[in-house]
Protein backbone atom coordinates (compact mmCIF):
# COMPACT_ATOMS: atom_id res chain seq x y z
CA UNK A 1 0.00 0.00 0.00
CA UNK A 2 1.28 3.46 -0.93
CA UNK A 3 2.10 5.88 1.89
CA UNK A 4 0.64 9.39 1.75
CA UNK A 5 2.26 12.75 2.48
CA UNK A 6 0.56 16.13 2.25
CA UNK A 7 1.06 19.85 2.40
CA UNK A 8 -1.57 21.54 4.54
CA UNK A 9 -2.67 25.16 4.30
CA UNK A 10 -5.43 27.52 3.24
CA UNK A 11 -5.36 28.48 0.40
CA UNK A 12 -3.27 25.67 -1.04
CA UNK A 13 -3.93 25.53 -4.82
CA UNK A 14 -0.74 27.47 -5.61
CA UNK A 15 1.59 25.00 -3.82
CA UNK A 16 4.44 23.51 -5.86
CA UNK A 17 5.20 20.91 -3.17
CA UNK A 18 3.33 17.99 -4.82
CA UNK A 19 5.20 18.51 -8.08
CA UNK A 20 8.55 18.58 -6.26
CA UNK A 21 8.06 15.64 -3.93
CA UNK A 22 6.25 13.34 -6.35
CA UNK A 23 9.18 13.72 -8.76
CA UNK A 24 11.64 12.52 -6.08
CA UNK A 25 9.31 9.77 -4.87
CA UNK A 26 9.11 8.37 -8.39
CA UNK A 27 12.85 8.73 -8.99
CA UNK A 28 13.71 6.80 -5.83
CA UNK A 29 10.98 4.18 -6.38
CA UNK A 30 9.31 5.03 -3.07
CA UNK A 31 5.76 3.76 -2.82
CA UNK A 32 4.23 7.02 -1.64
CA UNK A 33 2.20 9.88 -3.03
CA UNK A 34 2.17 13.56 -2.04
CA UNK A 35 -1.09 15.56 -2.02
CA UNK A 36 -2.50 18.96 -1.00
CA UNK A 37 -4.96 19.51 1.86
CA UNK A 38 -6.96 22.72 2.20
CA UNK A 39 -7.83 22.61 5.89
CA UNK A 40 -9.66 24.52 8.59
CA UNK A 41 -7.96 25.33 11.88
CA UNK A 42 -10.38 23.08 13.76
CA UNK A 43 -9.24 20.07 11.69
CA UNK A 44 -5.50 20.27 12.37
CA UNK A 45 -5.41 17.87 15.33
CA UNK A 46 -7.03 15.17 13.20
CA UNK A 47 -4.09 15.30 10.78
CA UNK A 48 -1.61 14.83 13.63
CA UNK A 49 -3.62 11.78 14.68
CA UNK A 50 -3.32 10.49 11.11
CA UNK A 51 0.47 10.78 11.32
CA UNK A 52 0.42 8.95 14.68
CA UNK A 53 -1.79 6.24 13.22
CA UNK A 54 0.50 6.01 10.17
CA UNK A 55 -2.30 7.01 7.81
CA UNK A 56 0.00 9.88 6.83
CA UNK A 57 3.78 9.53 6.51
CA UNK A 58 4.30 13.23 7.21
CA UNK A 59 3.16 16.78 6.59
CA UNK A 60 4.39 20.07 5.23
CA UNK A 61 2.69 23.12 6.72
CA UNK A 62 2.15 26.43 4.98
CA UNK A 63 0.18 29.61 5.71
CA UNK A 64 -1.74 30.26 7.86
CA UNK A 65 -0.97 27.25 10.10
CA UNK A 66 2.78 27.46 10.78
CA UNK A 67 2.25 28.41 14.43
CA UNK A 68 -0.86 26.33 15.08
CA UNK A 69 0.91 22.98 15.26
CA UNK A 70 3.15 23.92 18.22
CA UNK A 71 0.62 22.60 20.74
CA UNK A 72 -0.31 19.56 18.63
CA UNK A 73 3.04 17.83 18.03
CA UNK A 74 4.90 15.83 20.71
CA UNK A 75 8.16 17.70 20.27
CA UNK A 76 9.30 20.97 18.74
CA UNK A 77 12.94 20.98 17.62
CA UNK A 78 15.40 23.86 17.89
CA UNK A 79 14.85 25.07 14.32
CA UNK A 80 11.09 25.43 14.83
CA UNK A 81 11.43 26.92 18.31
CA UNK A 82 13.92 29.56 17.19
CA UNK A 83 11.96 30.48 14.04
CA UNK A 84 8.56 30.40 15.82
CA UNK A 85 7.14 28.31 12.96
CA UNK A 86 6.66 24.67 11.93
CA UNK A 87 6.72 23.76 8.25
CA UNK A 88 7.53 20.03 8.46
CA UNK A 89 6.07 17.26 10.62
CA UNK A 90 7.53 13.77 10.87
CA UNK A 91 7.57 10.74 13.16
CA UNK A 92 10.73 9.60 14.92
CA UNK A 93 11.02 6.98 17.67
CA UNK A 94 7.26 7.05 18.21
CA UNK A 95 7.13 10.85 18.63
CA UNK A 96 5.59 13.39 16.25
CA UNK A 97 8.16 16.14 15.72
CA UNK A 98 7.76 19.63 14.26
CA UNK A 99 10.67 21.36 12.56
CA UNK A 100 11.28 24.29 10.22
CA UNK A 101 13.36 23.71 7.08
CA UNK A 102 13.10 27.23 5.58
CA UNK A 103 16.38 28.46 7.05
CA UNK A 104 18.10 25.15 6.30
CA UNK A 105 17.05 25.42 2.66
CA UNK A 106 18.25 29.01 2.45
CA UNK A 107 21.69 28.24 3.89
CA UNK A 108 22.03 25.05 1.85
CA UNK A 109 21.38 27.05 -1.32
CA UNK A 110 24.08 29.56 -0.29
CA UNK A 111 26.57 26.76 0.28
CA UNK A 112 25.84 24.74 -2.85
CA UNK A 113 24.13 26.80 -5.55
CA UNK A 114 25.50 30.34 -5.44
CA UNK A 115 28.88 31.77 -6.46
CA UNK A 116 29.26 33.58 -3.15
CA UNK A 117 31.69 33.09 -0.27
CA UNK A 118 29.32 32.11 2.52
CA UNK A 119 31.36 32.29 5.72
CA UNK A 120 31.30 33.23 9.37
CA UNK A 121 31.12 36.92 10.29
CA UNK A 122 28.98 38.26 7.43
CA UNK A 123 27.17 41.61 7.57
CA UNK A 124 23.60 41.10 6.41
CA UNK A 125 20.79 43.45 5.40
CA UNK A 126 17.23 42.10 5.29
CA UNK A 127 14.07 43.62 3.83
CA UNK A 128 11.10 42.16 5.71
CA UNK A 129 10.37 40.88 9.21
CA UNK A 130 7.66 38.25 8.63
CA UNK A 131 7.61 34.51 9.19
CA UNK A 132 10.17 33.63 6.52
CA UNK A 133 12.62 36.08 8.08
CA UNK A 134 12.53 34.22 11.39
CA UNK A 135 13.34 30.90 9.72
CA UNK A 136 16.25 32.35 7.74
CA UNK A 137 17.72 34.43 10.57
CA UNK A 138 17.55 31.51 13.04
CA UNK A 139 19.71 29.41 10.72
CA UNK A 140 22.08 32.24 9.77
CA UNK A 141 22.87 32.84 13.45
CA UNK A 142 24.68 29.47 13.52
CA UNK A 143 27.29 31.14 11.28
CA UNK A 144 27.73 34.08 13.67
CA UNK A 145 27.06 37.09 11.44
CA UNK A 146 28.63 40.30 12.70
CA UNK A 147 25.41 42.20 12.14
CA UNK A 148 21.88 41.87 10.75
CA UNK A 149 20.06 45.05 9.74
CA UNK A 150 16.28 44.78 9.31
CA UNK A 151 14.27 47.18 7.14
CA UNK A 152 10.52 46.63 7.39
CA UNK A 153 7.31 48.48 6.50
CA UNK A 154 6.09 48.17 10.10
CA UNK A 155 9.00 49.19 12.30
CA UNK A 156 7.52 47.58 15.41
CA UNK A 157 7.57 44.13 13.75
CA UNK A 158 11.26 44.56 12.93
CA UNK A 159 11.90 45.53 16.56
CA UNK A 160 10.05 42.45 17.84
CA UNK A 161 12.14 40.23 15.55
CA UNK A 162 15.41 41.88 16.60
CA UNK A 163 14.51 41.55 20.28
CA UNK A 164 13.53 37.89 19.85
CA UNK A 165 16.92 36.91 18.44
CA UNK A 166 18.97 39.31 20.59
CA UNK A 167 17.65 37.53 23.69
CA UNK A 168 18.90 34.09 22.56
CA UNK A 169 21.82 32.82 24.60
CA UNK A 170 25.22 32.68 22.87
CA UNK A 171 24.05 35.25 20.30
CA UNK A 172 26.66 37.94 19.65
CA UNK A 173 25.18 39.28 16.41
CA UNK A 174 24.31 42.98 16.49
CA UNK A 175 20.76 43.70 15.30
CA UNK A 176 19.74 47.07 13.89
CA UNK A 177 16.21 48.16 12.91
CA UNK A 178 15.80 50.57 9.97
CA UNK A 179 12.89 52.29 8.20
CA UNK A 180 11.40 50.62 5.12
CA UNK A 181 13.31 51.33 1.92
CA UNK A 182 16.58 52.20 3.67
CA UNK A 183 19.47 51.57 1.30
CA UNK A 184 22.20 49.14 2.43
CA UNK A 185 25.65 50.67 2.82
CA UNK A 186 29.01 49.53 1.47
CA UNK A 187 29.85 47.35 4.49
CA UNK A 188 26.98 44.93 3.71
CA UNK A 189 27.95 41.49 2.33
CA UNK A 190 24.48 40.11 1.59
CA UNK A 191 21.04 41.64 1.01
CA UNK A 192 18.02 39.39 1.51
CA UNK A 193 14.41 40.16 0.61
CA UNK A 194 11.89 38.19 2.66
CA UNK A 195 9.09 40.72 2.15
CA UNK A 196 6.27 40.39 -0.39
CA UNK A 197 7.52 43.40 -2.34
CA UNK A 198 8.25 42.09 -5.83
CA UNK A 199 5.56 39.42 -6.04
CA UNK A 200 3.55 41.79 -8.20
CA UNK A 201 5.17 42.57 -11.56
CA UNK A 202 4.32 46.25 -11.07
CA UNK A 203 6.11 46.50 -7.71
CA UNK A 204 9.02 48.90 -7.60
CA UNK A 205 11.52 48.19 -4.86
CA UNK A 206 12.00 51.39 -2.80
CA UNK A 207 15.78 51.24 -2.45
CA UNK A 208 19.02 51.51 -4.30
CA UNK A 209 22.03 49.25 -4.05
CA UNK A 210 24.73 51.46 -5.55
CA UNK A 211 26.75 51.57 -2.32
CA UNK A 212 27.33 47.78 -2.29
CA UNK A 213 30.65 46.31 -3.40
CA UNK A 214 30.72 43.89 -6.33
CA UNK A 215 31.35 41.02 -3.90
CA UNK A 216 27.91 41.44 -2.34
CA UNK A 217 25.04 39.03 -3.00
CA UNK A 218 21.41 40.05 -3.45
CA UNK A 219 19.06 37.16 -2.60
CA UNK A 220 15.31 37.56 -3.13
CA UNK A 221 13.36 34.59 -1.73
CA UNK A 222 10.52 35.34 -4.18
CA UNK A 223 10.73 32.95 -7.15
CA UNK A 224 7.77 34.12 -9.23
CA UNK A 225 8.40 36.33 -11.19
CA UNK A 226 11.82 34.86 -11.99
CA UNK A 227 13.36 38.34 -12.15
CA UNK A 228 11.97 40.32 -9.22
CA UNK A 229 11.96 44.08 -8.79
CA UNK A 230 14.86 43.90 -6.31
CA UNK A 231 16.86 41.76 -8.74
CA UNK A 232 16.33 44.41 -11.42
CA UNK A 233 17.71 47.08 -9.08
CA UNK A 234 20.72 44.86 -8.30
CA UNK A 235 21.48 44.05 -11.92
CA UNK A 236 21.60 47.76 -12.82
CA UNK A 237 24.66 47.88 -10.57
CA UNK A 238 26.07 44.60 -11.96
CA UNK A 239 25.55 42.77 -8.67
CA UNK A 240 25.02 39.04 -8.33
CA UNK A 241 21.26 38.64 -7.78
CA UNK A 242 19.23 35.44 -7.49
CA UNK A 243 15.62 34.49 -6.80
CA UNK A 244 14.24 32.01 -4.27
CA UNK A 245 13.84 28.90 -6.43
CA UNK A 246 16.86 27.14 -4.90
CA UNK A 247 15.65 27.91 -1.38
CA UNK A 248 12.21 26.51 -2.25
CA UNK A 249 13.64 23.24 -3.54
CA UNK A 250 16.38 22.90 -0.91
CA UNK A 251 13.93 23.35 1.97
CA UNK A 252 11.74 20.67 0.36
CA UNK A 253 14.79 18.40 0.22
CA UNK A 254 15.30 18.90 3.96
CA UNK A 255 11.70 17.74 4.56
CA UNK A 256 12.23 14.73 2.29
CA UNK A 257 15.34 13.79 4.28
CA UNK A 258 13.38 13.74 7.53
CA UNK A 259 10.68 11.49 6.09
CA UNK A 260 12.88 9.04 4.17
CA UNK A 261 16.46 9.53 5.47
CA UNK A 262 17.66 10.22 1.93
CA UNK A 263 20.20 12.96 1.20
CA UNK A 264 19.15 14.27 -2.18
CA UNK A 265 21.91 15.13 -4.66
CA UNK A 266 22.56 18.37 -6.52
CA UNK A 267 21.29 16.55 -9.62
CA UNK A 268 18.01 15.84 -7.82
CA UNK A 269 17.73 19.54 -6.96
CA UNK A 270 18.53 20.74 -10.47
CA UNK A 271 16.14 18.26 -12.07
CA UNK A 272 13.24 19.69 -10.03
CA UNK A 273 14.27 23.27 -10.78
CA UNK A 274 14.07 22.46 -14.50
CA UNK A 275 10.71 20.77 -13.90
CA UNK A 276 9.48 24.02 -12.33
CA UNK A 277 10.54 25.95 -15.41
CA UNK A 278 13.67 27.59 -13.99
CA UNK A 279 17.16 27.33 -15.42
CA UNK A 280 19.49 25.29 -13.23
d(CA 266, CA 142): 23
Q: For the residues of 176-225, what is the DSSP string, one character each?
A: EEEETTPPP-TT-SEEEE-SSTTSSTT---S---TTS-TT-EEEE---SS
Angstrom CA distances, 103 to 55, 107, 197, 252, stand at 28, 6, 20, 11
**8-state DSSP, 143:** G
Select which of 57, 66, 204, 232 is catalytic.
66
What is the helix, strand, coil percentage profile of the chain, to 5?
A: 35, 20, 45
Radius of gyration over every alpha carbon of the chain, rounded to an integer in angstroms: 19
**Active site annotation includes 66:** yes
d(CA 116, CA 171): 24
Burial 14-49 (b: 16+ CB within 10 A, else e): ebbbbebbebbbeeeebebbbebbebeeeebeebbe
Q: Which residues contact 4 (CB under 8 A, 6 or more apart)?
A: 32, 33, 34, 35, 55, 56, 57
Point out the residues that are catalytic: 66
Amino acid sequence: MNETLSVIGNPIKHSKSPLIHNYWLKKYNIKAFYTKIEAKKTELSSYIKMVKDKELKGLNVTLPFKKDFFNLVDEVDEAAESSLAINTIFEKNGKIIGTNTDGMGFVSSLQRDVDFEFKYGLRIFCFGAGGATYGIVSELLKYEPLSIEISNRTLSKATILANHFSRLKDNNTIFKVLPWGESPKEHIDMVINTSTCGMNLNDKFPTNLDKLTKKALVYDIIYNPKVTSLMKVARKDNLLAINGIYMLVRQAAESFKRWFEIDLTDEDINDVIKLLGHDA
